[in-house]
C-alpha cells in the first residue's frame, strides 16, 4: 500500500475517526503530524489490537480540527466557549490565528461586518506596491527594467542601502528647510511690528522712511538650495512613477508639489515685494506646506496600529460625524441667536455695565465655544436671560458630545481588535 493511501485511526473521547496519513502531514510540526512518525506508537496512547490512537479530548472540536487538515480552512462550532476552544487548539498545537475571519467575528461577538473585516487585507498592499505591480509589462525596454528599481529607491526607504541613504539625505533637507522657515518668520514679524508702529505714530512722525520687508539673503539662498533638491527628487519620482493619476492622489505628493513654488515666486517678484510687503507675508503663509513635509517621516517607520485603526474608524463613522456637525451647527445658530436677543432684551435703561458683543456673529462664536466646553471667557452674559441661555447651551453641548463618544469608542474597539488579530495572523505566517 502506498504511504499516501495508508490510513490512521484516531479515537477521540470514544468517537473513532479514520483518515489518510497524508492528511495529517498537511501541517508539519503539529501533534497530528507527529502521529505519522515511526516512533509515534511508543510516545502516544496507541492500542496495537485496534490499531488506533486514543486521546481523551473533545470529539466535537476535533471534528473541526480534522476538517482543517483536510481543507486548510479552520472553522469552529457555533456555540463554543472561547476558553475551551483555546485549550483544545493548544493541545493540538494549532494557533488561534488560523481561525477563519467569519468564525473569529462570531467568537468575539464583534459587530464588524465581514466586508469591513476584509478591508485590512485589501490595504495590506500599500499604494507604492500597487504602483510597482503596474510596471510588469510585456516589453523589456530600459524604462521598464529601471523603473521599479528607481521607484523603490525613492519610495521604499528600507528596500536597499542606497534607498536608506537617500531617505536620510531627504530627511536632512526637510529638517533644514523647516529650520529656515522658522528663521524667516523673524523678519516677517519685525516688518509687521515696524509697520504697525509707523502707522500708529503717523500723526506725530514726519519721517518719510517707510518700513519695508527685507529677508536675509543667506536664508533665501539656503531655502533655494533645499528646494532645488526637492525639485530633483519630485521630478525623478514623477518621471518614474508607473501611474501618474495614483501619484497625485497621494496627499504627500501634492504637498511636495506645492512646496516648490514659494521660493521661486519670491525670486521672480523680489522687487515687487519691497513695494508690496504684504506679498512677502502671503508667501510666508504659503511656506507652511514645508511643515507638512514632516509627515514623510512616517515612511521611515512602520505606521502604528492605533493610527491605522483611527483612520478606518473615522472613515466608517463619516456619516455620523456629518450628522454631529449638522447638529452642532444648528445649536450654534440657535443658541447664538437666543443669546443675542436675550442680552439685548434683558438690558434695562439704568444698566451701566459693558456689553461684551457687537453683533450676532460674535454670539455665534460664543455659542460654539460654549457648546464645545472651551469657554474663552471673552463674551459673558450680563443679564438673567443671557445666563439661563448660556447654561442651556453648555448642557446641550455636553449632551451632544457625550452621545457621540460611545459611537466612536465602540467602532474603534471593533477595528482595534480586528487589527490586533490581523497582526497575529501576519506574524504567524512569517514564522
Whole-number pLDDT of residue 397: 92
Let me know whether 151 and 295 are in one domain: yes
User: Averaged in consecutive runs of 10 residues, what is the pLDDT profile of the chain (431 residues)?
Assistant: 70 86 83 84 85 85 82 72 76 72 59 53 49 48 75 83 89 91 79 60 47 72 91 90 82 88 82 69 83 79 68 81 91 93 77 73 92 85 88 92 84 75 61 53
Last residue of a domain, one of 279, 301, 323: 301
* Tens digits of residue pLDDT in 364-392: 999 999 999 888 888 888 888 888 999 99
Terminal-to-terminal C-alpha distance of the chain: 35
Let me know whether 319 and 418 are in one domain: yes
Let me know whether 235 and 376 are in one domain: no
* Domain count along the chain: 3
Whole-number pLDDT of residue 349: 64
CA gap 114, 91 in Å, rounded: 29
> Which residue from 94, 105, 45 is spatially nearest to 67, judged by alpha carbons?
94
> Which residue from 201, 174, 357 is spatially nearest to 255, judged by alpha carbons?
174
Q: DSSP per residue over 298-364, as a string? A: GGGSPPPHHHHHHHHHHHHTHHHHHHHHHHHHHHHHHHHHHHHHHHHHH--TT--S--S-SSHHHHH
* Tens digits of residue pLDDT in 171-218: 999 999 999 988 888 777 776 666 655 554 444 444 445 555 666 778
Let me know whether 243 and 374 are in one domain: no
Let me know whether 230 and 254 are in one domain: yes
Whole-number pLDDT of residue 267: 81
Name the residue range of residue 17's domain.
Answer: 7-109
Whole-number pLDDT of residue 128: 46
Last residue of a domain, one of 301, 332, 364: 301
Let me know whether 397 and 336 are in one domain: yes
Whole-number pLDDT of residue 69: 82
Last residue of a domain, one of 109, 135, 163: 109
Residue showing cell 533637507: 173
Amino acid at each position: 500500500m502506498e504511504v499516501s493511501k495508508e490510513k490512521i485511526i484516531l479515537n477521540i473521547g470514544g468517537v473513532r475517526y479514520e483518515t489518510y496519513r497524508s492528511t495529517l502531514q498537511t501541517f508539519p510540526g503539529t501533534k497530528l503530524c507527529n502521529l505519522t512518525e515511526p516512533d509515534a506508537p511508543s510516545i502516544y496512547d496507541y492500542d496495537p489490537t485496534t490499531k488506533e490512537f486514543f486521546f481523551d479530548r473533545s470529539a466535537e472540536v476535533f471534528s473541526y480540527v480534522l476538517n482543517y487538515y483536510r481543507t486548510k480552512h479552520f472553522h469552529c462550532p457555533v456555540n463554543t466557549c472561547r476558553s475551551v476552544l483555546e485549550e483544545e487548539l493548544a493541545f493540538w498545537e494549532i494557533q488561534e490565528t488560523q481561525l477563519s475571519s467569519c468564525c473569529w467575528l462570531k467568537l468575539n461577538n464583534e459587530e464588524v461586518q465581514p466586508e469591513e473585516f476584509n478591508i485590512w487585507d485589501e490595504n495590506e498592499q500599500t499604494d507604492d506596491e500597487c504602483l510597482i505591480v503596474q510596471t510588469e509589462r510585456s516589453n523589456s525596454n530600459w524604462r521598464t527594467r529601471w523603473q521599479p528599481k528607481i521607484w523603490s529607491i525613492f519610495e521604499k526607504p528600507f528596500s536597499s542601502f542606497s534607498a536608506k541613504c537617500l531617505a536620510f539625505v531627504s530627511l536632512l533637507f526637510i529638517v533644514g528647510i523647516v529650520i529656515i522657515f522658522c528663521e524667516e518668520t523673524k523678519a516677517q514679524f519685525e516688518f509687521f511690528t515696524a509697520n504697525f508702529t509707523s502707522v500708529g505714530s503717523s500723526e506725530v512722525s514726519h519721517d518719510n522712511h517707510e518700513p519695508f520687508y527685507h529677508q536675509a539673503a543667506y536664508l533665501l539662498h539656503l531655502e533655494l538650495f533645499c528646494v532645488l533638491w526637492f525639485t530633483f527628487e519630485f521630478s525623478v519620482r514623477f518621471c518614474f512613477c508607473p501611474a501618474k493619476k495614483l501619484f497625485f492622489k497621494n496627499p504627500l505628493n501634492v504637498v511636495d508639489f506645492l512646496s516648490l513654488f514659494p521660493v521661486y515666486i519670491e525670486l521672480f517678484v523680489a522687487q515687487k515685494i519691497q513695494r508690496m510687503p504684504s506679498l512677502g507675508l502671503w508667501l510666508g503663509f504659503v511656506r507652511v506646506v514645508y511643515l507638512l513635509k514632516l509627515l514623510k517621516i512616517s515612511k521611515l517607520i512602520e505606521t502604528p496600529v492605533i493610527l491605522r485603526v483611527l483612520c478606518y474608524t473615522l472613515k466608517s463613522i463619516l456619516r455620523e460625524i456629518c450628522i454631529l456637525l449638522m447638529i452642532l451647527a444648528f445649536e450654534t445658530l440657535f443658541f447664538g441667536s437666543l443669546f443675542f436677543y436675550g442680552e439685548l432684551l434683558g438690558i434695562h435703561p439704568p444698566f451701566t455695565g459693558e456689553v461684551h458683543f457687537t453683533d450676532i456673529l460674535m454670539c455665534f462664536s460664543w455659542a460654539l465655544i460654549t457648546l464645545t466646553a472651551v469657554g474663552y471667557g471673552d463674551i459673558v452674559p450680563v443679564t438673567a436671560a443671557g445666563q439661563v441661555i448660556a447654561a442651556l447651551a453648555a448642557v446641550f453641548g455636553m449632551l451632544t458630545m457625550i452621545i457621540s463618544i460611545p459611537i466612536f469608542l465602540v467602532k474603534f474597539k471593533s477595528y482595534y481588535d480586528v487589527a490586533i488579530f490581523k497582526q497575529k495572523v501576519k506574524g504567524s505566517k512569517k514564522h
